[in-house]
Amino acid sequence: MFGKLLAALLLLSTPVLAADKEFDLGFARPGMMQGQFRFGAWPPGMAVYCSDDPDKPGTLGKLLTMPQQMTNMGATRCALLSIDDKGVWSQAKRKIAGQPGQMAATFGPDAGGTKRLVQLFIEFPRTGFADLSKFLTSRFGAPQDQADTLIRWKTPKQEAVLVHEDGDTATLMMFDLVLQAQMDAKMQAMAPAKK
């Protein structure tokens, strides 16, 4: 009897599990802890630095700059960097589906204060749009929306959008929708009241 009950529960829970599928790239996924992203298995010569790192390289310009309101609520911005033979740090290019991508991520505190990935942005050459589309479909399943310049996957908790416009680049944007809504609410609560 217990076996039949367990089988029935598993059958009932299967659609819920499929709907809650994580959009995981293998090295990053919405909702992951900042420490997991920072200390992931990055290719040699690459490292993650974040806006709250006291030892972050000074050669990055505005790459890790955060709006003060986001900094006040505990958010940070991180980027994958590499160092050249002259000791200068710059944004690294990590290959995904054979395409070199530059990435930056925003982390915000969850209800318990742990910084988690809220937004991930990866910029690629536009010529790799089709390869990236196939790769992401193999990982995330069939997209909910698809057009010539935009492909979108969405669950109740996460969203991924691959888009290109008339330029030379394509961008993959990934969001934790629950954490994004929490961050938006915190920012609205911090905003000065309108008179």
Specify the pLDDT at position 104.
95
pTM as predicted: 0.85
Specify the pLDDT at position 7.
34
User: Rounded to an integer, what distance in angstroms lies between the CA atom of residue 49 and that of residue 53?
Assistant: 7
Specify the pLDDT at position 4.
35
Q: Which residues of 147-184 are buried (b: 16+ CB within 10 A; e: fewer)?
A: eeeebebbbebbbbbbebeeeebbbbebbbbbbbebbe
Specify the pLDDT at position 189.
83
Helix, strand, or coil (residue 175)? strand
Mean pLDDT per block of 10 residues along the chain (195 residues) reads: 32 41 92 94 90 85 87 93 88 94 95 95 96 96 95 96 93 96 86 67
| DSSP result, 47-65 | EEEETT-TT--TT-TTTT-
Specify the pLDDT at position 127.
95
